[in-house]
């Protein structure tokens, strides 16, 4: 969970920091530094709102737990997080080329109109979006215990590294490829999303809300294979195996727990879990290839239009 929290916090926080940094830099270029305090005000209010969302979310989850229905909320959070994580990665890849231009248009309009409110609102919504997404993802990886993730060294380390990278990037102290950074973290986040999808499918099958094409004689989903003796997906599974057989596992359950959280590993998956995992990646890769093809066609049409205009 700590590495998941680290990666999600790093990614979300750095996105917000970079966009806010671009706003501040552009205002400086426009000789409009007087608006900087209002940008900071938007960031401050967005952070307060994000913490408010986290508290509200915890209260709602506690309410569901009191009625014994928290498992259904967990499943909903898992599937919603898969969609949001996938959208986050694909949105950043699609919009990263245009985010600076779009942002400059909005800032120009706000400065021209002298609208402090518009500037605060623009900054507020940008940071709030990242904050709310982070709260939602924390709920997914922690099973609803958001406070535990907020206080983990993974989330704190991710935030600190994001602040450091943002500072070094805008001061010119260190240059690094943002495209490469978001590409690498995007791949890792897709693994997290696939793992959450597998967890959600497994929970539905455990509850009997989802059947299987491969079942036991009792009519319950049957594992395609079971390699618990090689690497259990949790240290409790390791203890149970050693207690029942008297043998040691090959790889610790602590490592299996990390692999389960980070890559969706399971030592005894069902057919549906395996299918969901690989179909997810097939869908993401297919969507990215389609987007790349559309972008190439758009550039060709634009280039052709320019050539015709010049001619």
The mean per-residue pLDDT over the stretch 217-226 comes to 90
- Token readout for 164 is 């450091």
**Burial environment of residue 153 by CB neighbours within 10 A (0 to 12, 13 to 18, 19 or more):** exposed
- Token readout for 288 is 């990215």
pLDDT score recorded for residue 273: 95
Q: Tell whether the model's pLDDT for residue 230 goes beyond 90.
A: yes
pLDDT in tens, 110-139: 666 666 777 788 788 888 888 888 887 888
Q: Which helix (H) or strand (E) holds 177?
A: none
pLDDT in tens, 233-259: 988 899 999 999 999 999 998 899 888
The mean per-residue pLDDT over the stretch 266-282 comes to 94
pTM equals 0.76
**Is the CA virtual torsion 251, 257, 261, 266 positive or negative?**
positive
pLDDT score recorded for residue 94: 60
Q: Tell whether the model's pLDDT for residue 63 goes beyond 80.
A: no
Alpha-helical (H) ranges within 172-266 are 178-206, 235-245, 253-263
Q: Tell whether the model's pLDDT for residue 223 goes beyond 50.
A: yes
**Is the CA virtual torsion 100, 104, 105, 110 positive or negative?**
positive
pLDDT in tens, 154-195: 888 988 988 888 888 777 666 666 677 777 878 888 888 898
Average pLDDT, the chain: 81
């Amino acid at each position: 969970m700590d590495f998941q929290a680290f990666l999600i916090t790093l990614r979300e926080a750095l996105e917000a920091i970079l966009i806010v940094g671009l706003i501040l830099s552009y205002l400086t270029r426009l000789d409009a530094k007087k608006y900087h305090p209002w940008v900071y005000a938007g960031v401050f209010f967005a952070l307060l709102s994000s913490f408010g969302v986290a508290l509200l979310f915890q209260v709602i989850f506690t309410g569901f737990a009191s009625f014994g229905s928290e498992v259904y909320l967990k499943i909903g959070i898992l599937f919603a997080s898969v969609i949001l994580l996938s959208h986050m990665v694909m949105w950043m890849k699609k919009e990263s080329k245009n985010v600076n231009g779009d942002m400059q248009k909005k800032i120009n309009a706000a400065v021209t109109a002298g609208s402090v409110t518009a500037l605060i609102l623009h900054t507020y919504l940008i940071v709030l979006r990242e904050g709310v997404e982070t709260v939602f993802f924390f709920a997914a990886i922690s099973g609803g215990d958001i406070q535990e993730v907020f206080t983990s060294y993974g989330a704190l380390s991710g935030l600190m590294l994001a602040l450091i990278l943002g500072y070094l990037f805008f001061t010119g102290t260190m240059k690094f490829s943002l495209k490469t950074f978001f590409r690498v973290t995007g791949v890792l986040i897709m693994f997290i999303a696939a793992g959450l999808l597998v967890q959600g499918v497994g929970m539905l099958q455990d509850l009997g809300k989802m059947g299987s094409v491969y079942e036991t004689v009792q009519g319950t989903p049957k594992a395609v294979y079971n390699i618990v003796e090689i690497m259990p997906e949790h240290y409790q599974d390791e203890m149970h195996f050693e207690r029942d057989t008297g043998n040691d596992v090959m790889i610790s359950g602590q490592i299996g727990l990390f692999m389960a959280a980070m890559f969706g590993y399971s030592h005894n998956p069902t057919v549906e879990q395996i299918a969901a995992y690989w179909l997810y990646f097939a869908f993401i890769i297919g969507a990215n290839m389609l987007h790349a093809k559309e972008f190439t066609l758009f550039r060709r049409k634009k280039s052709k239009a320019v050539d015709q205009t010049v001619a």
